[in-house]
Structure 1
Amino acid sequence: MSTGTGTGTNQGRHMMNDTPLTTPVTRRGLLLGGAALAGLSLSGCGGGKSAQDAAGGAQSKATFGGAYTGPAITLSYWNGFTGGDGPFMKKMVSEFMAANPKIKITENTVEWAQYYQRMPAAVTAGKGPDVGAMHLDQLATNAARKIIVPVDELAKSLGLAEADFTKDVWQAGIYKDARYGIPLDVHSLGMYMNTDQTKKAGIDAAPTDKASYDEFLAKLKQSGVQDPFWMPSKWPAHLMFLSLLWQNGGTPYADDGSKATFDSDAGVQALAWMVEVISKGYSPKNVAQDSQYVAFKNKKLSVTWDGIWQINDLKAAKLPFELAPLPTIGSQPAAWANSHNFYITKQATQDDNKYQAAQTFIDWMSKKSAEWAGAGMIPARKSVRETADVTDSTQGPIAKQIDNLRFLPPIPGLGDAQAQTLEIAVADAVLGKRKPDQALKEEAAKATKLMEANRKKYGA
């Protein structure tokens, strides 16, 4: 599971964090948070078509009627937008309250790792969020635990349909025939290049495939950059691996959550290429987590693969850079991606006014997704994504490639299994502890066992 992602060293910034831009654990924090969440006890399985059924009882009969007409009310809103995206979200919340004076929003911004650990228990105790933002790959787990409730009626009233979203983003918000998330954005890996260094090397265009990328790195090295592209063993190494796996035509897991498939030939090819980058002398060995991003930010390397949530941080650092889609190292373009979704908790359904106000909040926020693009994200809605404000933005080249972005399947508990297996396989291979094929085969077998246990735990 991932990501986002406000997400650490910024990396965590986007998808998950609340620490200074130079703190290197945030990104990884989301994964740990997801793992912790997956290990919590189940309060129930399944997901009905109505919020009432999913919440464990018919507490609320309120349906969304557009503008909120009830008495003055306070909503608790939780999110993890603690990086460069944080100020944009706070501004939007303030604008919402100005436009909806009867609804007061108390915003709780928590580092994503802590967020996913604390939120389920807080909701169960009636002290959690009424409404919140969550990563797409967390929806199924929280739906299975009946922490969040279906939002089918809200999606219908908003006029949302699959035609205005990519299929993967739309479908991944559905668990057991009910929708649990309203998509706000899409965020993915991209390729950042230091334009001062590429110009010095005589490079005038971003590489697009394996051959041109190899030539690209060779030219940078010849120009005097000793290690132009640092290969990490940890975050975001597993996201790079997933991107390359998809590029080679593979899939990491069976869609039904029955087994891990990342040890295929496609997976071996992907991980072997990551190791090859080091053996060819383009990257130092034993790159510490997040140090590749810090080094890029400090102009010590020429190119790095990281999330688009880094855009505003790099702009603030006044680094001369260009963002482009990942080169197609395999046979087809692909890149790992995730999405922030709005959700409503079972806590909110116990009060008709809160339930109505929560839907009003999501409605307003969804319609303002163009403004959210200022945080460096890609609007989830096609109708917004294809406007000039987005296509001409820094993330525009990624937005234009959205059909090539790939998402993990909606499988409860997947984050836990992945953190304990796939990520370890990637790290061991990159560090030279195990051969790529051996590491992937052994960890995929472990992942399958964990996934089988999760199917029993969460209900197949």
Structure 2
Amino acid sequence: MNTINRRLVLGGIGALGATGVLAGCGAGSAGKPGGAASATGDGGAKGYEGPNVELDFWNGFTGGDGPFMRKLVDQFNSEHPNIKVKMTVMQWSDYYTKLPTAVSSGRGPAVAIMHVDSLATNAARNVIEPLDDVAKALELKQEDFAEVVWKAGEYNGKRYGIPLDVHPLGFFYNKTLMEKAGLDPAKPPATADEYAAALEALKGKGMQGHWASPFQFTGVLSVQALIWQFGGDLFSPDSAKTVWQEEPGVKALSWFVDLVKNGHSPKNVAQDADAIALQNGKTAFNWNGIWNINTLKEKTSLQWGVAPIPNIGGTNAAWAGSHQFCLPKLKTPDENKSTAARVFVNYVSQKSLEWAKGGQVPARKQVRESAEFKALPEQASLATQIDDLHFPPPVPGIGDALAELNKAVNEAVLLKAEPGKALADAAARADKILEANRKKYGA
């Protein structure tokens, strides 16, 4: 269960990316603007010919993807004798707390991985530096990526993240249970009507087909996907107000809560229980992240499949996250480290096919369209959603507001509040947080 638990920690990023970072670093305390030395101007594209240098590389890859990144680091070190990358792995919750403090004290890493919903907060706090030179050196353009993942790395007119991957929500299904209910496991339901019929067929055989989690992983992510599918959004175009309490949001959360009310899910699903139930043959359907692929592959006796999220609301849409490379501010200018760090980012960003084997969708369009990636059938299946994925807006402290949506979903799924009221109450609280954050970050 290491992979699942790791992602549950990731599920706290919305809050940790904001409150955790803020607690560790006051505005501007992570080194003054320009504190880090400028690179050579080529973004590391020409390599590094300076003296031996050691780079600390921090990330939270504690699960099944960790060995794949370590393999890339070892390969880089073997090919660059004058650069030694030392990879430090920690739980994401610890990572987002420790990084700003380490940067402020001059003990931060030269390279780090960050999730898209934490980039803006850390950029506003001056924890990470712009990477426009790296994008230029790599000749990276929006058309090389899905638009949503490319724009997710930008904040305030500058690029702070180089996309490494996309990890979307997917539809996992137990083929054995589908067959018991008379369903065709080769044709998983893809529409609202097909999904409703499949759930009823499972119910007719005494099975609760889709366990509804009241927690962020995977309940809140599922509800977010449904909001977009019903034509809604989480925030207004300028991110000044929440809009999840509007009709599409109520429809989305009501559909999810009805899984419980209509007997397709137990009333109180524990954390991780939905994913475990799929593995143990207690439920047929589970909406979970792409990271679940490698977990299920370990269950050699389990007959399972994965497909894009069914279109319940009328619009193809799914939640996704993204790991992006960032360069923390160096309190003491060091041109050698700055240039070598860019060389490392350049290197790994071009090796994303190997990274995909760890259970990710490569951010680069060219890699996604390669025969080698298509030979990874599960990842390739979820990659077909790439143009339908959504991320939170790049706004500092956005995770603080999203934490209120988590509470609303929890209350509604546990049948403690009706969906409309839970969403409206959460929106009122979140709007105050958004207003406070605008003052806090000067946005």
Judged with a 3 Å threshold, the aligned counterparts in structure 2 of structure 1 residues 221 and 340 are, in CA distance, closer, same or farther, namely same
TM norm structure 1:
0.91
* Structure 1 residues 423-449: Cα deviation after superposition (integer angstroms, max 9, x where no partner): 001110111111111111111011011
Shift of the 61–339 alpha-carbon distance from structure 1 to 2, 3 Å rule, reads closer
Q: 1:58 to 1:336 in 2, by over 3 A?
A: closer
Partner of 1:89: 69
Shift in Å at residue 32 of structure 1? Answer: 4.5
In the TM superposition, what are the counterparts of 1:348-367 in structure 2 within 5 Å? 350-367=333-350
1:249 maps to 2:242: no
Secondary structure of the structure 2 residue equivalent to 1:133: strand
The match for 1:71 among 51, 54, 57 is 51
Match of 1:131 in 2: 111
Of all paired residues, the percent bearing the same amino acid is 45
* Structure 1 residue 12: Cα displacement: 4.2
When residues 259 and 38 of structure 1 are mapped into structure 2, their CA distance, relative to the original with a 3 A threshold, is farther
In 2: Cα distance, 1:398 partner to 1:166 partner: 14
Q: Measure the CA separation in 1 of the matches of 2:332 and 2:260.
A: 53
- Matches of 1:202 and 1:392 in 2, distance apart? 30
Correspondence for 2:13 among 12, 26, 30: 30
Instruction: Tell me, yes or no, if structure 1 residue 219 matches structure 2 residue 180.
Output: no
Letter in 2 for 1:10: T
Shift of 1:386: 0.9
* Residue from 373, 378, 387 that aligns with 1:403: 387
Q: What is aligned with 1:111? A: 91
1:415 aligns with 399
- Mapped partners of 2:189, 2:150: distance in 1: 31
Contact 2:174 2:304 in 1 (8 A): yes
Q: Is the 8 A contact 2:21 2:100 kept in 1?
A: no
CA distance in 2, matches of 1:373, 1:422: 31
The structure 1 residue matched to 2:413, chosen from 403, 425, 430, is: 430
Q: Hey, what does 2:424 align to over in structure 1?
A: 441
RMSD: 1.9
Deviation at 1:297, TM superposition (A): 2.1
1:20 aligned residue: none
Q: Identify unmatched segments of 5+ residues in structure 2.
A: none
Which secondary structure does the structure 1 equivalent of 2:88 belong to? Answer: strand
| Cα distance change, pair 123–339 in 1 and its aligned pair in 2 (3 A) | same
Distance 2:414 2:188 in 1: 28
Tell me if structure 1 keeps the 8 A contact 2:35–2:330: no
Aligned with 1:316 (options 293, 298, 302)? 298
Conserved in 2, the CA contact under 8 Å of 1:391 and 1:400?
Answer: no
Partner of 1:368: 351
Distance in structure 1 (CA, Å) of the matches to 2:225 and 2:87: 34
Q: Within 5 Å, which residues of 2 pair with 1:12-23?
A: 12-13=5-6, 16=7
CA contact (8 A) 1:54 1:146 kept: yes
DSSP-derived class of the 2:11 partner: helix
Partner of residue 164, structure 1: 144
TM-score by length of 2: 0.94
CA distance, structure 2, for counterparts of residue 440 and residue 61 of structure 1 = 47
2:246 alignment counterpart? 264
> Which residue number corresponds to residue 5 of structure 1?
none
For each residue in 1:367-395, what CA deviation from the matched residue of structure 2 results, as whole angstroms up to 9, or x when unmatched?
00111110110000101111122234212
Equivalent position amino acid for 1:192 in 2: F
Which string of whole-angstrom CA distances, capped at 9 and with x for unpartnered residues, describes residues 233-268 of structure 1? 112211111100000111101243311111010000
Residue by residue over 1:203-224, the C-alpha shift from the partner in whole angstroms, topping out at 9 and shown as x without a partner, is 2211111110011112222234
How far is 1:59 from its partner? 3.7
CA distance in 1 between partners of 2:150 and 2:430 (Å): 26
Partner Cα separation in structure 2 for residue 352 and residue 42 of structure 1: 26
Taking a change above 3 Å as real, the CA distance of residues 348 and 312 of structure 1, as seen in their structure-2 partners, is farther
In the alignment, which of 3, 28, 46 is matched to residue 10 of structure 1?
Answer: 3
Distance 1:72 1:199, change over 3 A: same
Letter in structure 1 aligned against 2:263: G
Change (3 A) 1:58 1:237: closer
Q: Distance in 2 between matches of 1:93 and 1:61?
A: 21
Count of residue pairs the alignment pairs up: 435
